[in-house]
Amino acid sequence: MTTATAQIAASDRSAVRYGSISRGRKRTLYWSYFFLILFVIFFLMPPIYMFITSLKTSAEIGAVTNPWWVYHPTLQNYIDLLSQAQFLTFFKNSALVAVIVVAVTMVVSILAAFSLARMKFWGSGTLATGVFLTYLIPESLLFIPLFKIFAFIHDLTGIELINHWWVLIFLYPTLTVPFATWIMIGYFSSIPKELDEAALIDGAGYLQILTKIFIPVALPGIIAATIFTFTVSWANFLYPLAFTTSADQLVLPVGIVTTLIKGDVYNWGQIMTGALLGAAPPLIIYAFLMDYYIAGLTAGATKG
């Protein structure tokens, strides 16, 4: 009897058509694609325009032609830029700064986040909030006091900190450490407490719990923080502009702008080429780490 009732109920339901799940899903997909395409056009336009311009001669850039088409493609801008020792110096400075800052930031913020997330000590909660608050202070407010501090250090010890590329290694962590620490606190807090208790009973010390349990388990978070740190230290403009001036001490973003704009003469072809080449390393790193990142995310999703 119950089967009969069920059949009647089913036929009733199919008679009244409220629309199916798949139709609803289709419509959602249409709209998703619509906005995704809009998004892609909006965000890919500038790099495409940069790429097109980088293939033109200065004469063609200045000429009144279709700006979206290259009539006489040339690699001269690339050749010129890459054969300049100056540009390679910028590249080297940027790379050194970024790599060292990533290393310093990750060491500091992983240790800080572990202690703030797990070793409950007096004031740890306040300290964790404080770490995040420092991130909220914009760099444009920080660089003047930093100037003062540098002047003070110079007066006190005679060490000149201004106009050296390596000073950025001390400056960038003020931006990257708070944020990376904050991300890592979140990741570490999501690791069940029993995991470190089990390790504690298994005979691990705090450092072993960190290296053998926390870092492997929170790897997706560590990679996210690494990507963030690398991007910040690769692309920061204000600090190098304020603290470095000599051509051999500049990093890429500032170097391109200050050496390729001479007075009111803009060497657009080379500026675009430089910007494109400068954007390459983060792109490559993203592409490489993204696979890891996603794999890590799904592995952590269902916890053992």
Partner 1 sequence: MAEVALRNIVKTFDRTPAVAGIDLDISDREFVVLVGPSGCGKTTTLRMIAGLEEATSGEIYIGDQLVNDVPPKDRDIAMVFQNYALYPHMTVYENMSFGLRLKKFPKAEIKERVENAARILDITNLLDRRPKQLSGGQRQRVAMGRAIVRNPKVFLFDEPLSNLDAKLRVQMRMEIKKVHQKVTVTTVYVTHDQVEAMTLADRVVVMNGGKIEQIGSPNEVYHRPTTRFVAGFIGSPAMNFLPCRLVEGSNGSAGLSIKLSDKLSFPIPPDRIARYRPYAGRELIFGLRPEDIIEKRGDLPPGRAAFDAQLDVVEPMGMETMVYFLVDSTEVCGRVDPAVAGKPGETMPLVADLNHMHLIDPQTDQVL
Mapping DSSP to helix (H, G, I), strand (E, B) and coil, where does residue 261 land?
A: strand
* 92 part of the interface to partner 1, by CB under 8 A: no
User: Using an 8 Å Cβ cutoff, are 143 and 175 in contact?
Assistant: no
Q: Pick between residue 148 and residue 303 the one whose CB is nearest to partner 1.
A: 303
- Which pair of structure tokens corresponds to residue 45? 């336009």
Residue 289: name the closest of 16, 102, 56 by CA: 102
Taking the complex as a whole, how short is the minimal distance between the CB of residue 195 and partner 1, in angstroms?
A: 5
Taking the complex as a whole, how short is the minimal distance between the CB of residue 219 and partner 1, in angstroms?
A: 8
Query: Distances from the Cα of 121 to the Cαs of 118, 125, 126, 191, 255, in angstroms?
Result: 9, 8, 10, 19, 46
User: Which residues ranging from 165 to 204 are in contact with partner 1 (CB under 8 A)?
Assistant: 192, 194-195, 197-204
User: Using an 8 Å Cβ cutoff, are 170 and 108 in contact?
Assistant: no
Q: How many CB atoms lie within 10 A of CB 70?
A: 17
In sequence order, what are the residues at sequence separation of 6 or more whose Cβ sits closer than 8 angstroms to the Cβ of residue 200?
209
* 300 part of the interface to partner 1, by CB under 8 A: yes
* 297 part of the interface to partner 1, by CB under 8 A: no
Taking residues 22 to 61 in sequence order and writing x for each that binds partner 1 by CB under 8 A, - otherwise, the string is ----------------------------------------
Q: Pick between residue 157 and residue 302 the one whose CB is nearest to partner 1.
A: 302
As a 3-state breakdown, the chain gives helix, strand, coil percent values, each rounded to 5, of 80, 0, 20
Q: Pick between residue 160 and residue 197 the one whose CB is nearest to partner 1.
A: 197
Say how far apart CA 231 and CA 102 lie, in whole Å: 10
Q: Pick between residue 177 and residue 209 the one whose CB is nearest to partner 1.
A: 209
Taking the complex as a whole, how short is the minimal distance between the CB of residue 298 and partner 1, in angstroms?
A: 10
Taking the complex as a whole, how short is the minimal distance between the CB of residue 127 and partner 1, in angstroms?
A: 20
For 187, phi then psi, to 5°, come to: -65, -45
* 303 part of the interface to partner 1, by CB under 8 A: yes
Q: Pick between residue 155 and residue 194 the one whose CB is nearest to partner 1.
A: 194
Say how far apart CA 131 and CA 129 lie, in whole Å: 5
Q: Pick between residue 11 and residue 298 the one whose CB is nearest to partner 1.
A: 298
Q: Pick between residue 17 and residue 193 the one whose CB is nearest to partner 1.
A: 193
User: Using an 8 Å Cβ cutoff, are 283 and 235 in contact?
Assistant: no
Taking the complex as a whole, how short is the minimal distance between the CB of residue 217 and partner 1, in angstroms?
A: 6
User: Which residues ranging from 210 to 249 are in contact with partner 1 (CB under 8 A)?
Assistant: 212-213, 216-217
User: Which uninterrupted H or E stretch holds 156?
Assistant: helix 139-157
Summarize as ranges the residues that interact with partner 1 (CB under 8 A). 192, 194-195, 197-205, 208, 212-213, 216-217, 299-300, 302-304
